[in-house]
């Protein structure tokens, strides 16, 4: 939910900057496929850091302007996988990124850099960029105005870090290409999700609901990659669950439950390596997660403890803000661990038992579509169309995973004269055409009619399918609900079947290429809960996508992709580093202190009998990372055993006053930690005062040694 006060007031302060940036990275040579391979494909996997700033940047996901980064729990990664035909230039690239969603600006910049490095090898049709949908990553990488409000503009350090990480992960995968084989498997994941809008789901036809045993998709599909000798290369898992185990009070940058599953799988396969290191890459990608929550205890009134599982998700006392869903753990960290562990465990089982090999040619189809004006043929006699983008009243109510503000409630099918008047005075009144097109949605923000200083929402949207033998990856530009995703998979599979390509496995990859919020079924749209109010192209959005993706599947099945019109190209607005985030100021130390000094020491001794934590407080800088090190007897050297990407380390940053920032490092000592002598090191940078250029100087701090023993 975009905080209404911000959406109505911050607009007055927006201005436009015109500048451009250029990346001078040297291009890598293109590796040509080799002939005569024993495996089915050339395969490559790569992982690269895309974390970006971890302090003072708004986090992207809950759209809460007060949720600003204040440290680091786990690093964010881009994980890239390349599948190539050995005897041709045909390739498919799938990239899963630990971010909220892929923005159009992000994709356009990545494609531009790939073209400068590889020419026409990696293009808009064969490169899929998919966000995991963590709600705990930095924002600021969008070019459309609506997303500037809670992200405080377009923030170049955030955008650049993600672009660089994506491109680097593809570079690594490209360099690692080798002969290999692919296997697919599927299985059911239990105790890891609920439908957060069950009342909406119930609106779907009874005959359709009767075909499914659950109101969420519990099936996980995994793709196993091995080289020609059977050595592990990588994993892609698709499973529908929102990465919102970390709630909207969290301020530590992290990859949430699916990211934790990735770390567990990679640590299992990259024995002896630190987190984020090693050649095996495991991506837990998003799917049709629109109405799927990991908060399995369901919604309860936090003030009374009673259930608030009702159509409006509201409480008798306190209303909507009191209705929150809780995860299975004792706190959000524990819930993240539990859900991540569940997902990892099923993926590990499926990976070990994967025996169905994927073979066959590669193909990809892509179009740009003006989603604000798609004519949809529902049947031989009835044609409808999509609408200019608009958000409804229930959008401002938020969800049981992250509530909104004021008196907005889910399920609103009528507007409010008070908010309508404020909107009309500050932003303009929605046209009658837009209001009629979106019925029964009461329009709160007519974003498709708002263009200052730039359009508020995209009109031009990517639709894309990539096929790897019998596997079809349907890349969707938003969050499909459970039933919407089921209909899309069926439509694509049916289209392949009817054109001689039977037996296709169809997976949905969510949050791809450009973000367009949610996609509900027509029936779900009628009751206007959050997901429906956020279906920005109107009640026939899903029908339009079904028509478009059928067309892509048909083109692939009939080998007529070359005849598809590419469609209108999306705009690239000339905006760089336009932000309301305060500039970084110079750093100062307390009297008689220097950067890196320890302000609060560790204890000298810890006994591992349960999950313990100890912390250090350092003077702080803007860039930071840490290591936990153990003393190696006999060698006289210190060995790094943890870094700032590790799940059990936490880095907290506080700004302080007069430029005297502090960093607190915690290590939550696992039960299986080896007894020994340890220390914690902190690495940072400071900006020197008293000079115009304010040069950045590195420094480090180190704790006293401490001993860990076991019973």
Residues annotated within a binding site: 133, 242, 479, 518
User: Strand (E) positions, 568-632?
Assistant: 598-600, 605-608, 612-619, 624-632
Give the angle subtended at the CA of 468 by the CAs of 465 and 472, to the nearest 5°: 40
**Joined tokens for residue 54:** 């971890």
**Joined tokens for residue 190:** 């239990």
State the CB neighbour count (10 A cutoff) for residue 502. 11
Distance CA(254)–CA(261), nearest Å, equals: 12
Closest CA to 216 of 293, 154, 329: 293
**Joined tokens for residue 701:** 């701090």
Question: Is the bond leading into 440 cis (omega within 30 degrees of zero)?
Answer: yes
Binding residues for Zn(2+): 133, 242, 479, 518
Query: b or e along 633-660 (b: 16 or more beta carbons within 10 Å of the residue's beta carbon)?
Result: eeeeebeebbbbbbbbbbbbbeeeeeee
Distance CA(79)–CA(140), nearest Å, equals: 21
Distance CA(385)–CA(373), nearest Å, equals: 6
| Residue among 293, 446, 470, 543 flagged as catalytic | 293
Q: Annotate 279-329 with DSSP letters as a single string.
A: S-EEEEE--S-TTEES-TTEEEETTT--B--STT--BTTTBGGGEEEE-SS
Closest CA to 532 of 376, 393, 377, 372: 393
Residue with tokens 């996980």: 220
356-358 and 178-188 beta bridge pairing: antiparallel
Distance CA(661)–CA(588), nearest Å, equals: 8
Q: Tell me whether residue 293 is one of the annotated catalytic residues.
A: yes
State the CB neighbour count (10 A cutoff) for residue 193. 27
Catalytically active residues are 293
């Amino acid at each position: 939910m975009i905080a209404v006060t911000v959406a109505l007031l911050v607009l007055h302060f927006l201005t436009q900057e015109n500048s451009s940036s250029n990346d001078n990275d040297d291009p890598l040579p293109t590796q040509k496929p080799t002939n005569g391979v024993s495996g089915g494909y050339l395969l490559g996997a790569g992982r690269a850091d895309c974390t970006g700033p971890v302090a003072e940047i708004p986090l992207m996901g809950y759209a809460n302007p007060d949720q600003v980064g204040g440290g680091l729990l786990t690093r964010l990664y881009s994980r890239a996988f390349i599948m190539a035909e050995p005897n041709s230039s045909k390739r498919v690239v799938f990239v899963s990124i630990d971010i909220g969603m892929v923005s159009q600006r992000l994709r356009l910049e990545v494609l531009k850099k790939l073209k400068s490095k590889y020419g026409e090898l990696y293009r808009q049709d064969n490169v899929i960029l998919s966000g995991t949908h963590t709600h705990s990553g930095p924002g600021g990488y969008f070019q459309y105005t609506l997303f500037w409000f809670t992200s405080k503009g377009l923030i170049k350090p955030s955008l650049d870090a993600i672009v660089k990480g994506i491109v680097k992960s593809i570079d690594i995968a490209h360099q690692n290409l080798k002969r290999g084989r692919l296997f697919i498997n599927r299985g059911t994941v239990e105790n890891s999700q609920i439908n957060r809008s069950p009342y909406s789901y119930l609106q779907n036809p009874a005959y359709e609901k009767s075909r499914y045993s659950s109101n969420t998709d519990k099936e996980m599909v995994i793709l196993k990659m091995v080289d020609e000798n059977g050595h592990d290369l990588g994993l892609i898992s698709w499973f529908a669950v929102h990465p919102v185990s970390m709630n909207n009070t969290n301020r530590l940058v992290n990859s949430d439950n699916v990211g934790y599953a990735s770390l567990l799988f990679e640590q299992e396969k990259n024995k002896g390596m630190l987190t984020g290191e090693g050649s095996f890459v495991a991506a837990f990608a998003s799917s049709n997660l629109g109405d799927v929550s990991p908060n399995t205890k369901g919604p309860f009134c936090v003030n009374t403890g009673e259930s608030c599982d009702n159509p409006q998700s509201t409480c008798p006392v306190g209303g909507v803000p009191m209705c929150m869903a809780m995860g299975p753990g004792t706190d959000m960290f524990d819930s993240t661990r539990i859900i991540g562990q569940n997902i990892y465990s099923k993926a590990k089982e499926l990976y070990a038992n994967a025996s169905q090999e994927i073979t066959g040619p590669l193909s990809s189809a892509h179009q740009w579509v003006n989603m604000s004006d798609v004519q949809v043929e529902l049947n031989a006699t009835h044609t409808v169309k999509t609408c200019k983008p608009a958000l409804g009243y229930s959008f401002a109510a938020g969800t049981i995973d992250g509530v909104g503000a004021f008196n907005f409630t889910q399920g609103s099918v009528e507007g409010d004269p008070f908010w309508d008047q404020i909107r009309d005075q500050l932003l303009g009144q929605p046209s009658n055409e837009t209001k009629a097109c979106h019925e029964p949605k009461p329009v709160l923000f007519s974003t498709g009619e708002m263009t200052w200083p730039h359009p508020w929402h995209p009109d031009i949207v990517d639709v894309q399918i990539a096929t790897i033998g019998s596997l079809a990856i349907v890349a969707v530009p938003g969050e499909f609900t459970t039933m919407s995703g089921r209909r899309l998979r069926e439509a694509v599979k049916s289209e392949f079947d009817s054109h001689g390509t039977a037996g296709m496995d169809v997976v949905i990859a969510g949050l791809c290429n450009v973000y367009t919020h949610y996609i509900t079924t027509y029936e779900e749209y009628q009751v206007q809960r959050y997901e429906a109010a956020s279906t920005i192209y109107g009640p026939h959005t899903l029908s339009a996508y079904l028509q478009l993706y059928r067309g892509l599947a048909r083109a692939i099945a009939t080998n007529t992709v070359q005849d598809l019109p590419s469609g209108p190209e999306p705009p690239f607005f000339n905006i760089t580093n336009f932000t309301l985030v305060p500039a970084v100021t110079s750093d100062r130390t307390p009297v008689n202190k220097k950067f890196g000094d320890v302000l609060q020491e560790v204890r000298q001794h810890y006994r591992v009998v349960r999950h313990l934590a100890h912390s250090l407080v350092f003077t702080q800088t803007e860039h930071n990372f840490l290591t936990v090190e153990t003393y190696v007897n006999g060698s006289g050297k210190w060995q790094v055993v943890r870094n700032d990407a590790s799940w059990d380390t936490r880095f907290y940053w506080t700004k302080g006053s007069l430029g005297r920032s502090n960093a607190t490092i915690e290590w939550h000592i696992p039960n299986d930690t080896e007894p020994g002598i340890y220390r914690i090191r902190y690495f940072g940078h400071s900006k020197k005062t008293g000079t115009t250029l304010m040069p950045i100087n590195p420094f480090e701090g180190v704790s006293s040694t401490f001993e860990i023993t076991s019973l």
